[in-house]
Amino acid sequence: MKNISSESIVHDLRYLQLLSRSFPTIASASTEIINLEAILNLPKGTEHFISDIHGEYEAFQHVLKNASGAVKRKVNEIFGNTLRESTKKEICTLIYYPEEKLQLVKSKEKDLDDWYMITLNQLVKVCQNVSSKYTRSKVRKSLPREFSYIIQELLHESSIDPDKYAYINVIISTIIETKRSDDFIIAMCNLIQRLTIDTLHIVGDIYDRGPGAHIIMDTLCDYHHFDIQWGNHDILWMGAASGNDCCMANVIRMAMRYANLSTLEDGYGINLLPLATFAMDAYADDSCAAFAPKSNYFDTNYNEKTLRLITQMHKAIVVIQFKLEAEIIDRRPEFHMENRKLLEKIDLKRNIFVYDGKEYSMLAEHFPTIDPQHPYALSDEEKELMKKIHNSFLNSEKLKKHMLCLFRHGGMYLVCNSNLLYHASVPLNEDGSLKHVKICGKDYYGKSLFDRIDELIRAAYFEDAETKEKQFACDFIWYLWCGPDSPLFDKDKMATFERYFLKDKETHKEIKGYYYKFRDEEATCDKILAEFGVEGKHVHIISGHVPVKASQGEKPIKANGKLLVIDGGFSKAYQPETGIAGYTLVYHSHGLQLVQHEPFQSRQKAIEDGLDIKSTTFVVEFESQRMMVKDTDKGEELITQIKDLKKLLVAYRTGLIKEKS
């Protein structure tokens, strides 16, 4: 405190008076300084990075439970060669799925009390290990209320001392005698899961394709500490929840394409009956063959009649989607997307597509709802249908809850501990420079572009319905889904129309933006990192969006380690292409580890057979000296708090601020 000048105290006096409300005495301020100094010298908490989950809730929940192998690594460190591999596997499975595993054990184990005694002692050792990097206060706040005192006693007593060993054994024996073993084991296992990971980062795309995005969101809403960098599929749902009919149509189309009705109907209560009724009537005599769901990507045993109905609904919503999108394109010429108005180029009489004087064969025919004179006009039935769909989305309470969670914990990007997280790209020019994107007549690029987009996304959801800002923002969310200069899309076009309707596969190609040409270059990554203010020795960009084709030799580590792409095919739709089932990233006090996962079999196999996800771990960076809290962003905050508290002590001791009783 020798370096604290009286001038700085006087300058900060108003702030220090506010601070004194929380620390009204010299003793309380001193105690907090001691506490914060101690925290600075604890090991850095473990961060867990996951991207592109796409509704695969079982695989997501398992990776969350096993912390991408961190739990298994801890168990191996603690027990080493003192336990068989099969026993360590049993401990891990119990930690992941305590309720289900207990039922299996109780059906097979002959001496249950002995099993309880051994298992409880093992769990105490694991829990002591994972809690060692936290303060007692933080651990105490994480404890289940009914077992808080008992767990604290077990965690903070050493079994090496003979007297303490007897004390611990008496506690465990009493737990068993009072028939509280099951509840206590479940509480301990959940606590181990809770303490293994300090922060969870979701780098975009929770929604679409897989069957359980709503289940993933339920899990996240209850998670202790997480953040989300919005992906293009998340934005699509956020647009739908904001009232954008184009986004609603796209959401429904994606659900039909992958035969995933459960998220819409069971998860959010979206009423699809009006669409089914309309589709059965409009396409009664149409095979709709080009609109059959992607059968390789869903496991639900739909019968033939249901699949036929989904196929008809699929075609119906596709046509409606293209009509709705034309409205936005006409309304927003500044989007420069006139070339995506393609319904007008179908020669309905000859059933061919005519573009730039060239004719293309069609994959589909029979368009009863398209008026050749006014191809983008919704029929009266389609208008009524969209009104019902619109109301259904806006009145879903579960959707509102999940969207508020996405807004509260989410954003376009995040800078955390020398890592820059964003889902997809940063738009670049042909020469690799940051691209200027015009929004409402003003240029934005790099960080300013991301910040402005973040503002507009929030305006679309939270602004009053009558404002021009709200109306533009709602349209702009759709642009973010499929617009060429969107950092969440960054391609010349979204070839949805071509893939559905045109046989010529050359028309299906989508050309990626220049970001994907330059992202492998370290200089480009350095430029982007500097733009977002990320500096230091070990800095990285962490993103997803484009699956890494590991089966074709592509590597997730790019630009000499500056860029880590962790979309490796969590979604089953991508696994035939990638050859794996995703990457995750773990950043603990010893360094950064990339984990490559094989496909997850099932929750049932994980419980019954102890079949964990087969994973391969790659060390990206290893620190010989352990990282401490003082080396993190949180550490910088605590150091600033300590400086302020020291100023408060000087103010107390010089009489500028009086202590309060």
**pLDDT: is 358 or 612 the higher one?**
358
* Phi, psi of 513, rounded to the nearest 5 degrees: -70, 170
> Nearest Cα to 171, choosing from 193, 157, 154?
154
Question: What token pair was written down for 26?
Answer: 């010299």
Q: What is the pLDDT of residues 367-408, one digit of tens each?
A: 999 999 999 999 999 999 999 999 999 999 999 999 999 999
Q: Are both 63 and 199 inside the same structural domain?
A: yes
In percent, how much of the chain has pLDDT > 90?
Answer: 73
Look at residue 510 and tell me if it is in a domain. no
Q: Is 195 in the same domain as 244? A: no
**59 and 189 co-located in one domain:** yes
Say yes or no: 372 and 341 in one domain: yes
Residue 15 has a pLDDT of: 93
- How far is the C-alpha of 248 from the C-alpha of 520, rounded, in Å? 35
Same structural domain, 250 and 380: yes
> What is the spatial distance between Cα 201 and Cα 204, in angstroms, rounded to a whole number?
9
Q: CB within 8 A of 538, min separation 6: which ones?
A: 418, 592, 621
Average pLDDT over residues 584-603: 82
- 429 within some domain: no
Give the mean pLDDT of 466-495. 95
Helices 304-331 and 468-482 cross at an angle (nearest 10°) of 120
In angstroms, what CA-CA distances link 479 with 22, 310, 318, 333, 457? 47, 27, 17, 12, 11
Residue 397's pLDDT is what? 97
In this prediction, residue 304 carries a pLDDT of: 87
For 211, residues 6+ apart whose C-beta sits below 8 A from its C-beta are 55, 57, 260, 262, 263, 298, 300
Give the range among 104-118, 330-344, 394-408, 448-462 with minimum mean pLDDT.
Answer: 104-118
115 backbone φψ class: left, alpha, beta (φ>0; ψ -120 to 50)? alpha
The type of residue at 623 is E
How many structural domains is the chain composed of?
A: 3
Q: Does one domain contain both 152 and 252?
A: no
pLDDT per residue over 226-252, tens digit each?
Answer: 999 999 999 999 999 999 999 999 999
| pLDDT exceeds 70 at position 356 | yes
Backbone φ and ψ of 616, nearest 5°: -120, 130
Output the pLDDT for position 283. Answer: 94
Tens digit of pLDDT for each residue in 163-179?
677 788 888 899 999 99
CA distances from 243 to 48, 461, 496 (A): 33, 8, 22
pLDDT the model gives residue 602: 67
Are 16 and 117 members of one domain? no
Residue that is last in its domain, among 372, 399, 426: 399
Give me the pLDDT at residue 607, please: 72
- 630 or 9: which leads in pLDDT: 630
Q: Are the C-beta atoms of 139 and 163 separated by less than 8 Å?
A: no
Instruction: Read off the pLDDT of each residue in 16-31 and give the average, rounded to a whole number.
Output: 95
User: How much is the average pLDDT of 621-632?
Assistant: 86
Read off the tokens for 90: 């049993």
pLDDT given for residue 163 in this prediction:
64
pLDDT score for 601 = 65
Q: Is residue 470 part of a domain?
A: no
> Does 465 fall in a domain?
no
Q: Return the pLDDT at 296.
A: 57
Residue 579 pLDDT > 80: no
Which residues, 6+ apart, have CB-to-CB distance to 109 below 8 Å? Answer: 115
Residues 6+ apart with CB under 8 A from 388: 271, 274
Q: What is each CA distance from 454 to 235, 327, 448, 466, in whole angstroms?
A: 11, 24, 10, 20
* Residue 408 is assigned to a structural domain of this protein: no
pLDDT category at 332 given cuts 50, 70, 90 is very high
- Let me know if residue 184 belongs to a domain: yes
In a domain, 488, yes or no: no
pLDDT in the model for residue 478: 98
- 32 shares its domain with 62: no
The residue out of 399, 416, 439 marking a domain boundary is 399
Residue 449 in domain: no
Whether residue 573 has pLDDT greater than 60? yes
Residue 339's domain comprises 231-399
φ, ψ dihedrals at 397, nearest 5°? -65, -40
Nearest to 319 by CA among 240, 248, 378: 378
- Residues 191, 277: one domain? no
Q: What is the pLDDT of residue 379?
A: 95
Residues 30 and 134 in one domain: no
Q: In terms of domains, do 175 and 291 share one?
A: no
Q: Is the pLDDT of residue 300 over 70?
A: no
pLDDT computed for residue 405 by the predictor: 97
Q: Do 391 and 252 reside in the same domain of the chain?
A: yes
The pLDDT-based confidence of 550 (bands split at 50, 70, 90) is confident
Q: Please determine, for residue 294, whether its predicted confidence score (pLDDT) is greater than 90.
A: no
The encoded tokens of residue 395 equal 């009145």
